[in-house]
Structure 1
């Protein structure tokens, strides 16, 4: 069981360290951890945010546990050398097109949500975000018009096979949950979204047991704060999924609690190859202070055990340990508490 550990920048090494401690405590047979540099630290050491040696480590592994990338010292670099290109590069090079982002309200944290407690208590949804297309990977340019004005341009596009494969992932996920799928687009003004909707409808014919609805992204954003309990599985494109999943994190109280998985089609001897990371960033303002909440990274490790190694029992143990720590009042600064990174990690280990 080979896991490529990529701590990255800012608070990445701190939160990843606690997740690794949890994995090691499980004493899994054959577990091997391989560490690689990514992001700003990789640029400093190797001259590129995703060095060739790190990519080789990723290819040799069965799964990747990823921390965070982002360093203000790299903001002046050309875009291809900025830390964020590490995660985009891994997704592209390894064919990781399906992002799973669950958002569930932990009992006892309802009052910490920006929503009314009785509304927040109903949150239990999964956002399935396409990762390899849309404006993030389309042609980009900043150009000068004939009259001297500057214009930025980003191409939004999807091919039907890209939509079809993410739709299948979402429908299968819905079959394993409450059998409801909401496809989010902007088909009233975007041709890319019209194609998205048409293809999702075609795929739906293969899943008669799943109830499908369509929703424009602006309405979806509104409904996510008005009545989040109405959602089971949400499938959407790269840009809309990025925004909605961060919005969902604040609905449950903190971005420090949400894990994610990026999956592709590659199968290993154990399960589906994937990259697992907390959805928060590198938070350079608190890096090195021991203040970051590692629970999202620990929960990402649980997702890794479930999807890439078929270790459902161990995954459930980790999730239960996190839930119990929260129920016992172990709260990080993001949740209004005083527990630091190591303290939270130790609390999860004790309950494990």
Structure 2
């Protein structure tokens, strides 16, 4: 069948190209066995783009992302580029894509699979069955606010400046994403901020409450200070369903929630833009584990988060719910069957590398199909 799904792949740096190869293997399987055709292009971002073109996110990559129906992102960064000035750092590649495409809502699920309950640092009874969705605002807040920078006064003393700025429109649109998601889950949103000490937090709480009252009164809403939310995640994480947070607090809380699951190597994410008049929306999907330069090139990285990010892509951008669920089930079956990469290794299990893990997922897909 003709390809009608435009997919841009950005492997990036570190383990990005290694784990992305396993997704390409699944795409090939889908084209052969599921009659799903993709129009695939590949671009440069991060350190790879710096080496080739001198910038972390070239205009050509942005243009390709705009033309695509979805972007599958790997990871960026590494010690090779650590000495570069701030404005040329590889990590700015992903920030530019989020800003240029209007990708304002970052969705980070934190799910504990039954076979990995013992991999968490928390007691099994605390995390068994954990299923949280964190919705992080991703184009505003302190990562983008102005003024910012480092200044030096006449005496040579330096001052670092970052500014937390949010408009009510930015808060309202990400709140709607969180409430809409909650309706499809367990119907509860916990909105986090620091309204006790931050003016932006006061506005955040007020606007979320207004959106809730006007549009989502059927959804349970609670407000919680972000520091308390961090403590509660470590003590009673299953009280949460959807956690809504600003860019900074969402960054911190999502990584903390990820730690509860036992490994960053198992967790995907999606970052969504607004629905456009033609019904399309820009979207980018990526694992949350980063480039892991210490293990890059060794063939031992866990490809699961990248594979599960592709499953999220199928669900959110292409409406392929059955295929998304099939991939998620295949990953869980591989883990349940005892194959483990180093990050999720447990006694009695078989330690394997990136390629073997990817092959095993394809074998499970074949069985499920």
Worse overlay, 173-182 or 18-27: 18-27
Worse overlay, 209-218 or 331-340: 331-340
SS in 1 for 2:232: helix
Residue 313 (structure 2) aligned to one of 272, 282, 304: 304
Aligned equivalents of 1:202 and 1:142: distance in 2? 37
Distance 1:336 1:162, change over 3 A: same
Aligned equivalents of 1:317 and 1:272: distance in 2? 24
**Alignment correspondent of 2:282:** 273
**Alignment correspondent of 2:363:** 350
Aligned equivalents of 1:286 and 1:200: distance in 2? 42
Residue 150 (structure 1) aligned to one of 158, 162, 166: 158
Aligned equivalents of 2:133 and 2:275: distance in 1? 22
Matches within 5 A, 1:1-352: 1-27=5-31, 28-139=35-146, 140-205=148-213, 206-267=215-276, 271-336=280-345, 338-352=351-365
Q: Is the 8 A contact 1:292 1:340 kept in 2?
A: yes
Give the drift of 1:23.
Answer: 2.1
Worse overlay, 217-226 or 77-86: 77-86
TM-score (norm 2): 0.93
Q: Is the 8 A contact 2:30 2:36 kept in 1?
A: no
SS in 2 for 1:49: coil
Worse overlay, 250-259 or 21-30: 21-30
Query: Any stretches of 5+ residues in structure 2 without a counterpart?
Result: none
Q: Is the 8 A contact 1:3 1:61 kept in 2?
A: yes
Give the drift of 1:274.
Answer: 0.7
SS in 1 for 2:317: helix
Aligned equivalents of 2:279 and 2:151: distance in 1? 48
Distance 1:172 1:268, change over 3 A: same
Aligned equivalents of 2:124 and 2:21: distance in 1? 33
Aligned equivalents of 1:271 and 1:318: distance in 2? 24
Query: Any stretches of 5+ residues in structure 1 without a counterpart?
Result: none
Aligned equivalents of 2:87 and 2:310: distance in 1? 29
TM-score (norm 1): 0.97
Q: Is the 8 A contact 1:129 1:237 kept in 2?
A: yes
Give the drift of 1:267.
Answer: 4.3
Aligned equivalents of 2:170 and 2:27: distance in 1? 34
Give the drift of 1:273.
Answer: 2.7
Aligned equivalents of 2:341 and 2:122: distance in 1? 20
Alignment RMSD: 1.3
Q: Which runs of 4+ in 1 moved over 3 A?
A: 145-148, 266-272
Give the drift of 1:269.
Answer: 7.0
Residue deviations 1:222-278 (CA, integer Å, cap 9, x gap): 000101100000000001111111111110110001000000014497853310000
Q: Is the 8 A contact 1:9 1:68 kept in 2?
A: yes
